[in-house]
Amino acid sequence: MKIKVFFMLCIVMIFSISLKAQGFTPPVFPKKGLSDTIRVGATNDNGVMIPWMQLQDVSVVAERIFKTPEAKLAFNRLRYNVLKVMPYALFAKRRYEQLEEDLQKVSEKKQQKELVKTCDREIKDMFNREIKDLTITQGQILTKLIDREVGKTTYDLVKQTKGGFTAFSYQLIARVVGHNLKSTYDPVEDRDIESIIRSSGFYQ
């Protein structure tokens, strides 16, 4: 009886293997050229391996038509100012993210204060080197872009790192020279700025 069962199992296994062998067709790969040295992905399309690679998104934007020469001049001036201050907003974003990450790694208040002081010192050094020479308009755009990149207003960042009184004091000084540290970014209201950023390659 045992021999009969074993014999039947062998027949079933051989039969299933033969079916798999008959139903399996090895995929057809494209022939390699002399300069084919880059590994890419491939998709099996009915037994034919089709190579492919992912490309970056390409934005197609129509040429903007301005109603007046003055409107074109104003847009070009805005573009210059946005490109001038965008690197500072990106720096603030990276530095704030680094600060948040560093603060998560330490639990002692003393160490956290040292990290905040280091961040504040780096931002002040950059301010003393470059940001102090920005125009009022460029400063206003920068505060908007910081809110865009960091997700918090400049006022909130100062309040979080330096305290409410310092943030209030900075806001008073900023208002005197035409700035507002509480400025927020609105993609709809600031659509020209958004268009300039998207078309300038900052996120490629």
Read off the pLDDT of residues 49-83 as tens digits, 9 standing for 90 and up: 777 777 777 666 667 788 899 999 999 999 999 99
Binned at pLDDT 50, 70 and 90, residue 12 comes out as very low
Does residue 199 carry a pLDDT above 50? yes
Measured CA to CA, the distance from residue 76 to residue 70 in angstroms comes to 10
pTM of the predicted protein model: 0.63
pLDDT, tens digit, for every residue of 92-140? 888 888 888 888 888 888 888 888 888 878 877 777 677 677 888 888 8
C-alpha distance from residue 186 to each of 56, 68, 138, 163 (Å): 27, 25, 17, 26
Q: Which residues are CB-neighbours of 95 under 8 A, at least 6 positions away?
A: 119, 122, 123
Mean pLDDT computed over 36-61: 74
